[in-house]
Structures are given as structure tokens and as C-alpha cells.
A and B are shown apart, each in its own frame.
Chain A
Amino acid sequence: MGFIRLVVFGFIGLSVIYLSVSVYSRSVRKERLEKQFDADHSEGAAEGARDAFVAEGMQAYNRSIRPKLIGLVYIVPTVVIATIIYTINAN
């Protein structure tokens, strides 16, 4: 019973962390892309070029390994708990 409770609430808690970390990561990347564009085009650019640049950068981000690494949020605590269970209970 306790195990099921741990799994359910652990999953909910980790999902909250996962979602906030991915939102944060996307937001940081988007801000960096915007700043990069502004630095490169200091004296005005074509209409919509900034949005296109940012959208392209975000697509590249989605394809990269970074967003997949956020999945470690689920894996690391599971490994840590398994390690604790082993070290505490092994003779």
C-alpha cells in the first residue's frame, strides 16, 4: 500500500518538476535567441524576420538532446531511491 502511494505521489511530484523545468529551459532558450537576433540586427530588420529566427531556433532546440535530458528528472530520483533501499537494507 505504501509502495503504491509512493509511486503515485512521486510520479505527480516529479511530473510537476518535469513540466516546470521544461518550461524554464524553453523560456531561457527563447530569450537567448531573441537577444542574439537583436544583437545581430541592431539597425532594424525585415518584418517577421525576428519571429522566424526564433521559431527556427526553437525547432533546433526541440530536435537537440537537451529537452530529452530533462527526462532525467524521473530517472535520477528512482535510481537514488533504489540505491538508498539497497544500502540501508543490505547486510
Chain B
Amino acid sequence: MKRFKTIVRVIFLLIVGLFFHYVLPQHDVVKVTSTEIIRTDFSPYNRIFYAQADAGASEQPTRDLRLINTQKRKTFLLGFIPRDSEGVMVYRNEDTGWIWPPYFKFDSSDLQAEAANLARGDEWAVITHYGWRIRWASIYPNAVGVRTIEGPDVRIIPWFNIFFFIFFMVALLFIRAMWRQFRERSVDPLLDAAGDQLDEVQAGVAARKGRVSRWLGTWRDKNKNRPVE
């Protein structure tokens, strides 16, 4: 039972971690090489990894998708440890609109223009994005912003994520405090009152009967000892 609990807990933490890793912004050091637009037919499997049509447009089963092709500096450990090697990376560039994830991005066309501008030169840039590149499912991370930098060896401090996790911990502690207060002031007095009555009724029964025999008792014929009329 204890091992089972641990497994459930680990799976839960893993899901939460993956969720945050997908949704929270990350920064890549890249050289934009080109921009392009492809027509995309979503499948039921990868549809969830795409946003909706542009904020002002209507949703159709198929539509064009803006992509930003880059040469990216590789990293270790979620981008914390930079490496010297490079590889290609492709970002999609979609409006997130009003709902989810809450980036409120409406300027995909402007971002595409910025990327196209960067593609003309040989400048290094930082792309802020969320999401994953999953090749076998044709899933791209969504770029939300780009800015130029001096060279590839910048130190990027993820301020948003720092503040987000501080806020998240504070919120969790606050919810815990609220729950405890609610238990102490509202639930426990009720349970105590109900429990006292129950205890008095059950005390005699529980003392004589073991758990197993009580359970067995639920299977017995309740009418067996009833006097025959």
C-alpha cells in the first residue's frame, strides 16, 4: 500500500512537472534562418498541441501555419547549462488568443515580420517560446517573442518563471492554511458532535465483535431467527 501511494505520488508530480514544462516560457539562443508558411491538417492526436486560428479569424478544419526555422544553441538540463553545439529548431507562430495558454498573444504576424527581418542577417537572437518539438507527431513549440542579443553567450534569467513558482508556492501554502482553518472551525466540531453519538451507539457492539465477524455478519440471513408465524 505504501509503495502504491509512492507510485501514485510520483506519477502525479511527473504530470504536474510535464505540464509546467510545456506551458511555462523558455528561452532559446538561436539564429533565425528563414520563415515559412505551410498548410496544416490537424489530426485528433496532435490538435491539442496547436492553438486556434488567429484571434480575429474563424476556426476551420485546415489552415495555414506560420513557422520560424532556426539554428539553435543546444543546452543541457532545461536550458540551464549552455553547450557549444548547434542544431536546427522549428517554431510555430500562432496566436494563443484569450484563453489557453494565457500568453494573450495576438501579434503572430508582427512576430513573423520580426523573424523575417532577422533571417536576412546573421544576428543572434533569443526566442521565448512554450511547448515541445515532437517530430513523430508534427508538434512544434510556439514562439511568443524574439529579441536580438550581442552574442550567443548571454546569461538569461527566467524572471517570469522565478516569480511564478514563488507565487505558486505561496498560493499552495495559503490554500493549505485555508483548508486547515475550515477543518478546525467548521468540519471538526460537526464531526465531533456526530461522532459522540455514533460512539455511544457503537461502543457496545464494537467491543464484542471483531472486524471480520462483523463483515461476515453482513452476509448472514437476517430473517433466520425470526419466529415463524
Query: Which of B29-37, B72-80, B104-112 lies at the interface?
Result: B104-112
Chain A residues with a Cβ closer than 8 Å to the other chain, count:
17
Chain A residue at minimal CB-CB distance from B97: A2
Inter-chain contact B185/A31, CB cutoff 8 Å: yes
Cβ of B13 under 8 Å from chain A: no
B129 to chain A, nearest CB (A): 12
Residue interface bits A67-91, CB-to-B below 8 A is 1, else 0: 0000000000000010011001101
Q: How extensive is the interface on chain B, given as a class?
A: 10 to 19
Secondary structure of the B side of the interface? loop
- Of residues 22 to 73 in A, which have CB atoms within 8 Å of B's CB atoms? 24, 27-28, 30-31
Cβ of B99 under 8 Å from chain A: yes
Instruction: Name A24's contact: one of B97, B106, B110, B181 (CB within 8 Å).
Output: B181
Which residues in A have some Cβ–Cβ distance to B below 8 Å? 2-3, 5-6, 20-21, 24, 27-28, 30-31, 81, 84-85, 88-89, 91
Which residues in B have some Cβ–Cβ distance to A below 8 Å? 52, 55, 97-99, 102-107, 110, 144-145, 177-178, 181-182, 185
